């Protein structure tokens, strides 16, 4: 009977070992399921962040293209304004030259006016002298 008892004890020991192994296996499975859920949740969060980042990158690319277009338009406008400015500078130089010519003409006219005024003054003096002579001659004739 000893051997039956020993066999029974060995079997019970083997059953306990198996139950312990089964219990550890269940804990391992639960742990793996928890990790899988956590990994799945992290993957979904990561995927959501990646999609949001991809949308943001697409928006930024679009804005970058708009900025490039605006920059090209502004560059064209700057060139047009430079050309217009060059035209204005040329016009300004022409007007400056014309103004200098007119200032010179005005100065010449002032000189001529002074000469004319002097001539008129001399003529008035000559007329006055002539009138005085005529008056003397009239007095002598009488």
pLDDT digits (tens, 9 = 90+) for 52-97: 899 999 999 999 999 999 999 999 999 999 888 888 888 888 888 8
The whole-angstrom separation of Cα 127 and Cα 134 is: 10
Inform me whether the pLDDT recorded for 125 exceeds 90. Answer: yes
The whole-angstrom separation of Cα 30 and Cα 28 is: 5
Burial class (CB in 10 A: 0-12, 13-18, 19+), 76: exposed
The whole-angstrom separation of Cα 93 and Cα 87 is: 10
Our measurement of the distance from residue 71's CA atom to the centroid of its chain's CA atoms, rounded to an integer in Å, reads 8
The per-residue pLDDT for range 10-20, each reduced to its tens digit, is 999 999 999 99
Where are the chain's structural domains? 1-100
With pLDDT > 90 as the criterion, what percentage of the chain qualifies?
Answer: 62
The whole-angstrom separation of Cα 82 and Cα 59 is: 34
The whole-angstrom separation of Cα 56 and Cα 43 is: 19
The whole-angstrom separation of Cα 6 and Cα 14 is: 12
DSSP state letter for 1: -
Inform me whether the pLDDT recorded for 142 exceeds 70. Answer: no
Angle, CA 9 vertex, CA 6 and CA 15 arms, to 5°: 140
> Which residue carries 């560059």 as its tokens?
75
């Amino acid at each position: 009977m000893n051997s039956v008892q020993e066999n029974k004890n060995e079997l019970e020991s083997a059953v306990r070992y198996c139950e312990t192994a089964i219990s550890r296996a269940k804990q391992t499975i639960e742990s793996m399921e928890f990790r899988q859920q956590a990994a799945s949740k992290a993957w979904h969060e990561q995927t959501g962040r990646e999609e949001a980042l991809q949308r943001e990158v697409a928006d930024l690319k679009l804005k970058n293209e708009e900025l490039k277009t605006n920059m090209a338009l502004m560059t064209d406008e700057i060139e047009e304004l430079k050309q217009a400015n060059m035209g204005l500078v040329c016009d300004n130089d022409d007007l400056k030259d014309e103004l200098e010519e007119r200032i010179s003409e005005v100065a010449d006219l002032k000189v001529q006016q002074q000469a004319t005024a002097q001539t008129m003054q001399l003529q008035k003096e000559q007329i006055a002298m002539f009138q005085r002579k005529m008056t003397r001659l009239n007095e002598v004739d009488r």
